[in-house]
Amino acid sequence: MALDTTAPRSRRSLLTAAAGGAAALAASAAAPLGVAAAATNMQTETANTSAAETSIDDSGDRTIGFKTTNVGVAPALVVHNAAGVATTDAETDPTDPGGITTSAGVYATSADATDAAPFWAATFTGVYGFAPTWSAPSPGFAQGVWGDSPDVGTLGTGDVGVRGEGFIGVVAAGGFGGGATGLRAWGGDGTGDDIAIDVRGKAKFSRSGRTTIGAGRSSVKITLKGTTSSSRVFAVLHSNRASRYVRAVVPTTGSFTIYLNTSVTSATYVAWFVIN
């Protein structure tokens, strides 16, 4: 089935149904592992094969459970999960929808995996990462996946490069001061007809609002941090006043003034919007 990038589609409905299954998964993960009858030692420089789980349980505090390094253009670690036999309803989980043939290539959790998605819900996923809500003493927030680089921290490519779903789908924050940019969008190379931002639904801007020009007055001054003489400020009447209109909007450092062509005889609403 072709990917529909215009309509919302997520695994949240599956995850909601799987709430009970997640707890069962955690309990299963805590159970003792079975020992294969024909267990053999892992061999270096050999493609080892196995039909049972091979695991490392590192109980040391602040020790590395598994480490691999490499030199050259080959990756240090390659993880691949091939499709297997399709599951049937309740085969691996009471809420398993059936028909699942694969899971994530990498399934990683931090601190507490109780509320993590069950394995089957991570089907067709390269990397699944989960972390519970931040509980450390100092303020902060948990993150399922963290990509960090002086260049690009996280790169997503495909028909949809990056998709975020949640109460807040995507949060983009620039630096602190210095004119940093929270979100930058290009439409192609920025010179053609390609669309940089396509908004489906309402758009909310903190640098917009509505003010009142009192009776007998023809202007109003709005104080707004970050406004400069080069800011682009637009304003329009939000009250029906015959022969009255916004004559000019003049920005300056930290504020702008909206001027009407003449004074109003009663309180009049004016809506405004600052672009930069």
List of residues 6+ apart from 197 with CB closer than 8 A? 185
Longest dimension (CA), the chain: 94
Letter for the amino acid at 98?
A: G
Instruction: Report yes or no on 67 lying in a domain.
Output: no
| pLDDT confidence bin for 50, thresholds 50/70/90 | confident
Got the DSSP string for 223-261? E-TT--TT--EEEEESS--TT--EEEEEEETTEEEEEES
CA distance 127 to 108: 8
Whether 247 shows a pLDDT value over 70: the answer reads: yes
- In a domain, residue 174? The reply is no
Q: Which residues contact 247 (CB under 8 A, 6 or more apart)?
A: 259, 260, 261
pLDDT at 96: 79
Task: Name the pTM for this structure.
Answer: 0.75
Nearest to 227 by CA among 174, 171, 272: 272
CA atoms within 13 A on the CB side of 56: 9
Tokens at 22, concatenated: 């997640």
Phi, psi of 3 (to 5 degrees): -75, 125
Rg for the chain, CA atoms, rounded: 28
Greatest mean pLDDT among 16-25, 168-177, 200-209 lies in 200-209
pLDDT of residue 72: 94
Query: Cα separation of 92 and 20, whole Å?
Result: 13
Whose tokens are 């309803």? That residue is 89
What three-state secondary structure class fits 23? helix
Instruction: Flag the least confident range among 136-140, 193-197, 204-208, 222-226.
Output: 136-140
217 falls within a domain: yes
3-class secondary structure, 269: strand
Evaluate whether residue 58 is within a structural domain: no
Residue 1 included in any domain: no
Domains in the chain: how many in total?
Answer: 2
Q: Does the pLDDT at position 215 exceed 90?
A: yes
- On whether residue 3 sits in a domain, the answer given is no
DSSP state of 21: H
Tell whether 228 is covered by a domain: yes
**Which residue range is the domain that position 247 belongs to?**
208-274
Q: Which of 95, 124, 146 is the last residue of a domain?
A: 146
What local confidence, expressed as pLDDT, does residue 262 receive? 98
- Residue 118 falls inside a structural domain: yes
pLDDT at 109 over 90: yes
Cβ contact 128:106 at 8 Å: yes
pLDDT at 11: 52
